[in-house]
Chain A
Amino acid sequence: MKKNSTPAKYDIFTKIALVLVLIIIGFLILLPLLNILVYSTQPSGSAIITNSLSDIVTRNIIWNTVKLGLSVAALGTLLGFIMAYTQARVEFRGKKILHIINLVPIISPPFAFATAIIVLFGRSGMITRGLFDWRPTLYGYPGLVLVLTLSFFPIAYMNLLGMLRSLDPALDEAGSSLGANKWRVFRTVTLPLLIPGFAGSFLLLFIESIADLANPLIIGGNYTVLASRAYMAINGDYDISLAAGYSSLLLLPALLVFLVQRYWAQKKSVVSVTGKPSGRPTMVTSKVAKVFLLSVTGLLTFLIVLVYLTVVLGAFVQIIGVNNEFTLEHFRYLLGGFANGAIKTTTILALVATPLAGIFGMLIAWLVIRKVRRGSEALDFLGMLGIAVPGTVIGIGYAITYNDPVKIGGVTIFPQVGGGGALLGGAIAIVMVYIIRSSPAGQRSGIAMLQQIDPAIEEASASLGAAGGKTFRLITLPLISGAFLSGLMYAFAHSMTTLSPIIFLVTPDTSILTQKILAEADQGRYGNVFALCCILIVLIMIIGGLINLLVKRTQVSIDRPMVTGR
């Protein structure tokens, strides 16, 4: 009977918010995407697209991209599952620490893994050559798969861990009581129930890895993928149409996979989230299984720790593995002028973008869940575009769109905000990118939170005379402030560590930390790379902690997972 809980009429606040959100999405993502498509129809771009299957070079690039995506997706999902299953179903000490370590790669600077892996396992790696006198070639496909898998497996881990924990333990127990042994229950009950989770993780990892630009630039060697080729089209060929052509080739599969992931894989989920498991899950008791699970988990965790140790140590010694003498020279160089501007600019721009991205994401979440009746899925999708579209594509789209004023029929409707000579030295375009790339995280956590809040709470506020905007401010926002906080934290960390979109937008006036790291890594000055990574991590931790404090002071504690208003 109750189809949905929407108010009788869109009130004025909702109308304004909706129009505003659509205008912002239009400028922040739709217009740049449109320009990518328009420019890719020009000669050099359209040549790439039309010959993509016949031209051997282009075909190779596409195949490289797909092969990399599939490999990382498969390996990352498998590892993520093993880690999640161990976390959920094996008893051992140090679970919590392991969990945190497994999540760290999500917010780490883009080059920490690639450079540390080269130092550890490369041709003259401390482990490969130092311990085994082995000189493998890491550059190219194998190195990329290793680094990307390490960077992205936490996504699968989180996804599958959440699902495993919400599986009703009674299902496993029912299987056992019907006479199935544990292995059989695992095969016939647990695994089939997780299939949507596997599919979802696989698709997410696929998108992440085909979109990645930083790692192919550093560790890709001759293994060219679409993202790095598009980058070269801008920075080597100086051909915008060519870049737009490669971008389109990257954009279409990324969007397609994203759509499949969100609207198919997620809906296939048969896991019943009751929020109240009916008992304790059956733990793994088989010795063989335990040894296998714990050794894979231990090894991977050890690798992550090793990478971070390398980053930290590498920042404080001359050349790690070669000259291990303690030095502060890297920091002295960086903080003595080379990176000061970038540190300041990056922090300020991220700080400006973070609250905007947080509020924007929450506003979309609220509109999607509570206000918009028809087309709420479309609005949700538009809001998610910032993360669905590969960063490289966004960056190139911005460069095309905003390095000149946007005009319609000769009338400027949006000023030049990107590139040299733009307003504020191109800083506005970078903030815009930060916002559109980080607001989806806020949107997701906001939606998750809102779905748990009884709509009657907001209706009660309305019936007591509070109009739409007032209800949002007095009731909704305080109730979702927990999600708001995590959205903010993520937005900030993500802004600080993002590279692929903003690399096309930095100007001499606005240099960004991640771009400095790329430059240093390019030059092989790994000591500086490690020091910059350390600076970035410390900055994120300090400011993240401050945001936490700031929001916590105004935040209400809601000690129940389910906010029903009862």
Chain B
Amino acid sequence: MAKTSGNLRLEKLTKVFGNGAEKVVAVRELSLTINPGEFVTLLGPSGCGKTTALRMIAGFESPTGGSVLLDGEDLVQLTPDKRPMGMVFQSYALFPHMTVFDNVAYGLRVKKMSATEIKKAVAEVLDSMSLSHLANRAPNQLSGGQQQRVALARAMVVRPKVLLFDEPLSNLDAKLRAQMRVEIRNIQRRLGITSIFVTHDQDEAMSLSDRIVVMRNAVVEQVGTPDEIYRRPSSVFVADFIGRSNFLAVESAAKSKAGKAKIVVSGKKMDVAAQSKALSSKRPVLLVRPESINVTAAKSSSKKLGKGVGRVTSVVFYGNHVEYTLETNEGVIVAVVSDPIYDEIVAVGKVARYSFDPSRAWLLPSDSIEAMNGERE
């Protein structure tokens, strides 16, 4: 279902808490355009400013600067109740003194809809979320997953132009979380409501989003589709935050044709795709995901590490895959070999040959690698 409204534009949205020496910039000049019906996730480690950004969009925090434009209209001066947005909270925030029905009907009653219309609309949404049999229950009589669905129903029933999700799945167990992810995505697609989802869980972001906004230290690090973020991260930070990564030291790098670079890694020449600033960086690094690296027992009996050869320091067998940690001249490498043949698994202490397909690699500037290690807990 295509929607004509629900275009949200953030322009240089900024929030500074405190003043003077205690000044903390929570969000710095966040600019972003979200298309009608699009599902966008703000992803980042805790303290990166994603929740503050969401709360500014909802109107619970006033921006220090910048604007929030919905279909061209600036909302910054409006209190939350005047904004056509629905929000699903981390704690669900169901009204404990009202039944499920009254919770869902609340927004419609505030809008002064007629009782019959309210009854119809609430019944419809409760039915669509298989909550009808719980209509007269109090929130504290519901399970976590049910409470979550009521919160979602309550936000949706008023037909907001934008739905905001503040880590709504973080209080559920893993299985329920996966189930709710599918449910949220299906409903959102069906209604075509522009949605913004805040999370620190990369799986959630990958599985839900049309686009992901990776934030770090109050600024946007990268905006892109899930596969862009995973395959073509803009920085070492993004690569490291989304999925697992190996950063191999590069011996030399030179320009090749557009978007490509000729490099030498562990004595091998290869042509790889490169991030635009990779070659202007002093020491670019090569990103290779663990699943792209293959490990085989080394034929040579020599214990010396060398070109494409490393020593196995740990092996973990998971059944459907085996995970190696190798010590190499290019640094520590993690490799995941799927569908392993048990007899061919290389034991700890042995040397192993590792290899990867250059088309699966991505050359990145290394500038921020130190800073990143500093801020990880």
A558 touches B (CB below 8 Å): yes
How far is A457 from B151 in the complex, measured between Cα atoms in Å? 11
B140 touches A (CB below 8 Å): yes
- The reply to whether A479 and B62 form a contact with Cβ atoms under 8 Å apart is no
A563 touches B (CB below 8 Å): yes
Contact residue among A459, A465, A470 (Cβ-Cβ distance under 8 Å from B158): A465
- The reply to whether A454 and B93 form a contact with Cβ atoms under 8 Å apart is yes
- The reply to whether A9 and B62 form a contact with Cβ atoms under 8 Å apart is yes
How far is A565 from B95 in the complex, measured between Cα atoms in Å? 6
Neighbouring A residues of B110 by C-beta, 8 Å: 464-466, 470
- The reply to whether A460 and B62 form a contact with Cβ atoms under 8 Å apart is no
- The reply to whether B139 and A565 form a contact with Cβ atoms under 8 Å apart is yes
- The reply to whether A565 and B96 form a contact with Cβ atoms under 8 Å apart is yes
- The reply to whether B83 and A1 form a contact with Cβ atoms under 8 Å apart is no
A60 touches B (CB below 8 Å): no
Closest B residue to A5 using CB positions: B60
- The reply to whether A464 and B86 form a contact with Cβ atoms under 8 Å apart is yes
Chain A, interface size: which category? 35 or more
- Distance from A486 Cβ to chain B, minimum over Cβ atoms (Å): 17
B26 touches A (CB below 8 Å): yes
A560 touches B (CB below 8 Å): yes
Q: B49-105: which residues lie under 8 A (CB-CB) from chain A?
A: 49, 51-52, 55-56, 58-63, 76-83, 85-87, 89-97
Closest B residue to A1 using CB positions: B47
Neighbouring B residues of A566 by C-beta, 8 Å: 91-92, 94, 139-140, 144, 147, 171
- Distance from A169 Cβ to chain B, minimum over Cβ atoms (Å): 27
- The reply to whether B87 and A463 form a contact with Cβ atoms under 8 Å apart is yes
Contact residue among B51, B82, B154, B171 (Cβ-Cβ distance under 8 Å from A2): B51
How far is A153 from B285 in the complex, measured between Cα atoms in Å? 72
A253 touches B (CB below 8 Å): no
How far is A251 from B63 in the complex, measured between Cα atoms in Å? 44
B46 touches A (CB below 8 Å): yes
Tell me whether A459 and B89 are in contact in the complex, defined as CB-CB below 8 angstroms, given that A464-B158, A560-B96, A560-B140 are known contacts: yes
Closest B residue to A14 using CB positions: B79
- The reply to whether A461 and B95 form a contact with Cβ atoms under 8 Å apart is yes
A407 touches B (CB below 8 Å): no
- The reply to whether B154 and A464 form a contact with Cβ atoms under 8 Å apart is yes
B226 touches A (CB below 8 Å): no
Contact mask A1-44 → B, CB, 8 Å, 1/0? Answer: 11101111101000000000000000000000000000000000
- The reply to whether B18 and A3 form a contact with Cβ atoms under 8 Å apart is yes
- Distance from B219 Cβ to chain A, minimum over Cβ atoms (Å): 14
Neighbouring A residues of B144 by C-beta, 8 Å: 566
A285 touches B (CB below 8 Å): no
- Distance from A247 Cβ to chain B, minimum over Cβ atoms (Å): 40
Contact residue among B18, B79, B171 (Cβ-Cβ distance under 8 Å from A7): B79
- The reply to whether A461 and B106 form a contact with Cβ atoms under 8 Å apart is yes
B290 touches A (CB below 8 Å): no
How far is A452 from B15 in the complex, measured between Cα atoms in Å? 27
Count of B interface residues, CB-CB < 8 Å:
50
How far is A563 from B92 in the complex, measured between Cα atoms in Å? 12
B284 touches A (CB below 8 Å): no
Contact mask B259-300 → A, CB, 8 Å, 1/0? Answer: 000000000000000000000000000000000000000000
How far is A465 from B154 in the complex, measured between Cα atoms in Å? 12
Closest A residue to B55 using CB positions: A2
B233 touches A (CB below 8 Å): no
- The reply to whether B93 and A457 form a contact with Cβ atoms under 8 Å apart is yes
A559 touches B (CB below 8 Å): yes
- Distance from B79 Cβ to chain A, minimum over Cβ atoms (Å): 5
Task: Name which of A6, A462, A467, A558 has the most chain B CB atoms within 10 A of its CB.
Answer: A462
Neighbouring A residues of B82 by C-beta, 8 Å: 465, 467
Task: Name which of A2, A471, A560 has the most chain B CB atoms within 10 A of its CB.
Answer: A2
Contact residue among A3, A459, A471, A556 (Cβ-Cβ distance under 8 Å from B97): A556
How far is A460 from B88 in the complex, measured between Cα atoms in Å? 8
- The reply to whether A460 and B95 form a contact with Cβ atoms under 8 Å apart is yes
Neighbouring A residues of B317 by C-beta, 8 Å: none
- The reply to whether A467 and B81 form a contact with Cβ atoms under 8 Å apart is yes
B107 touches A (CB below 8 Å): yes
Contact mask A437-474 → B, CB, 8 Å, 1/0? Answer: 00000000000000000101101111111111011001
- The reply to whether A456 and B91 form a contact with Cβ atoms under 8 Å apart is yes
Contact residue among A474, A556, A565 (Cβ-Cβ distance under 8 Å from B92): A565
Task: Name which of B47, B87, B139 has the most chain A CB atoms within 10 A of its CB.
Answer: B87
- The reply to whether B95 and A7 form a contact with Cβ atoms under 8 Å apart is no
A266 touches B (CB below 8 Å): no
Neighbouring B residues of A478 by C-beta, 8 Å: 97
Q: A177-194: which residues lie under 8 A (CB-CB) from chain B?
A: none
Neighbouring A residues of B164 by C-beta, 8 Å: 463
B111 touches A (CB below 8 Å): yes
Neighbouring B residues of A466 by C-beta, 8 Å: 81, 106, 110
- The reply to whether A9 and B96 form a contact with Cβ atoms under 8 Å apart is no
How far is A3 from B56 in the complex, measured between Cα atoms in Å? 13
Neighbouring B residues of A1 by C-beta, 8 Å: 26, 46-47, 49, 51-52
A475 touches B (CB below 8 Å): yes
Contact residue among A463, A479, A565 (Cβ-Cβ distance under 8 Å from B83): A463
Contact mask A129-171 → B, CB, 8 Å, 1/0? Answer: 0000000000000000000000000000000000000000000
Closest A residue to B148 using CB positions: A566
How far is A65 from B254 in the complex, measured between Cα atoms in Å? 89
How far is A465 from B83 in the complex, measured between Cα atoms in Å? 8
- The reply to whether A459 and B94 form a contact with Cβ atoms under 8 Å apart is no
Contact mask A522-566 → B, CB, 8 Å, 1/0? Answer: 000000000000000000000000000000000010111001111
- The reply to whether B81 and A463 form a contact with Cβ atoms under 8 Å apart is yes
- The reply to whether B94 and A8 form a contact with Cβ atoms under 8 Å apart is no
Closest A residue to B63 using CB positions: A8
Closest A residue to B17 using CB positions: A3
Neighbouring B residues of A559 by C-beta, 8 Å: 140
Tell me whether A459 and B52 are in contact in the complex, defined as CB-CB below 8 angstroms, given that A8-B79, A464-B154, A465-B158 are known contacts: no
Query: What 10 A-B pairs have minimum CB-CB distances, sorted nearest first?
Result: A464-B107, A456-B93, A556-B97, A8-B62, A460-B93, A462-B80, A565-B93, A456-B89, A463-B87, A465-B110
Beyond contacts A460-B151, A462-B59, A464-B106: 11 other A-B pairs, Cβ-Cβ < 8 A, are A6-B60, A7-B62, A8-B59, A8-B62, A456-B89, A461-B106, A467-B79, A467-B82, A474-B106, A560-B140, A566-B171
20 sampled A-B residue pairs with Cβ under 8 A? A7-B62, A8-B78, A9-B77, A457-B94, A457-B95, A457-B96, A460-B94, A460-B151, A462-B60, A462-B79, A462-B81, A463-B80, A463-B86, A465-B107, A467-B79, A467-B81, A479-B97, A564-B91, A564-B96, A565-B94
B binding-site residues for A, Cβ under 8 Å: 17-18, 26, 46-47, 49, 51-52, 55-56, 58-63, 76-83, 85-87, 89-97, 106-107, 110-111, 139-140, 144, 147, 151, 154-155, 158, 164, 171
